[in-house]
Amino acid sequence: MNKIALIYMGGTFGCIGEPLSPMPESTFIPQLQQLLPTKYQTIVSCFQAASIKDSSACTAQDWLQLIQQIQTLQLQNFQHFIIIHGTDTLSYASAVLAQFLQQSCHVILTGSQFPLLNIEGTALRSKTDALDNLNTSLEAITQIKAGVYLSFHQQVFYAQTAFKVHTTDLNAFNGIAIQEEYQDFSSKALLPLHVEMMHIEKANMLNIINWMMLPIEKDQLSQNLKQLLNQVPDFLIIQAYGTGNLAVNDEIINLFQQLRTLGCQTILTTQVLHGGIDQRYAISQWIKETGILLSNSHTQADLYAKILKIYLQYPTSEQWHDHWQ
């Protein structure tokens, strides 16, 4: 059978005690190995990630180090990987791995709403979804096509499409399941990116501002945009209404143009979870004047992953714009 690398990256899955706190990975990983189903004992090798932390604290650096670890293990003939990760940013981790690894190997990310072990950390917890999520991932990892996926509550989703829908429920994630017909045109024919130290160092400098629009007057939006002129981000994401609708005036259009001149790429997306953006309406004709980019990503996490990759691939703001599609 195929060798499987199981990489532990922290999260509720590996917590013990009351209140919950992370069990030291040197103690947790042997416990994890013992709880693997018998048929996987000899083919699964457990590893700790370079960065183990609460997933709400994870950033691009942590996920790039994980990709680097996966790419190193590929040289040791591992092609199947299961990642245990906290649920807060599980969709972001999945989307980043999907963008960077593409179809170069088989990867499933999973986590849990309850810890694997009891309060003392000595045995399997009586009420836990951790083992079930892990077993689902183990059963699926050698059956799926090459690519990156997120597994939760007996479901396996395409990583680019997955998003968290509930803070505490066991059925916490949604997306396009592997049983559904799906073709990811946004990353068609893209090659994996081999992660090097220079990418990790550069990622620390990436500055993204995300605004979910609320009903305020245009004059207030103008004032907010003017504040950005003092410290310009690399990317400004505008989560507009409906199909990407945003009411603007000449001053707002001018401010978007100024931001682009100063090196900020503005990306228009929608705060609606399903359906994507559609620029049929006259209210959006201003987009052509400003050169704003349109999101073609499945989720907010997928958009973040695309921004990160294009930021690391190309050195200038105008190249980010030119290569966006």
Convert the pLDDT of each residue in 259-271 to its tens digit: 999 999 999 999 9
CB 123, CB 29: distance < 8 Å: no
- Beta bridge mates, 233: none
Domain 4-187 indexed as CATH 2.60.40.3140: no
- The pLDDT tens digits of the residues spanning 270-313 come to 999 888 887 565 557 888 889 999 999 999 999 999 999 999 99
CB 226 within 8 Å of CB 255:
yes
Over 80: is that where the pLDDT of 143 sits?
yes
The predicted-structure confidence for 21-74, as pLDDT tens digits, reads as follows: 999 999 999 999 999 999 999 999 999 999 999 999 999 999 999 999 999 999
Task: Reduce the DSSP state of residue 6 to 3 states and report it.
Answer: strand
The fold of the 206-322 domain, in CATH, is Rossmann fold (3.40.50)
Q: For residues 221 and 246, is the Cβ–Cβ distance under 8 A?
A: no
Q: Is 4-187's fold the same as 206-322's?
A: yes
Is the separation of the CB atoms in 87 and 111 below 8 Å? yes
Q: What is the DSSP letter of 56?
A: G
How is the chain split into domains, by residue range?
4-187, 206-322
Are 238 and 246 in contact by the 8 Å Cβ rule? The answer is yes
Integer Cα distance of 85 and 80 in angstroms: 16
Distance CA 225, CA 227 (A): 5
| Predicted local distance difference test score (pLDDT) of residue 170 | 97
Q: 180: left (phi > 0), else alpha (psi -120 to 50), else beta? A: beta
Give the phi and the psi of residue 29 in degrees, each rounded to 5: -60, -45
pLDDT tens track for 79-138: 999 999 999 999 999 999 999 999 999 999 999 999 999 999 999 999 999 999 999 999
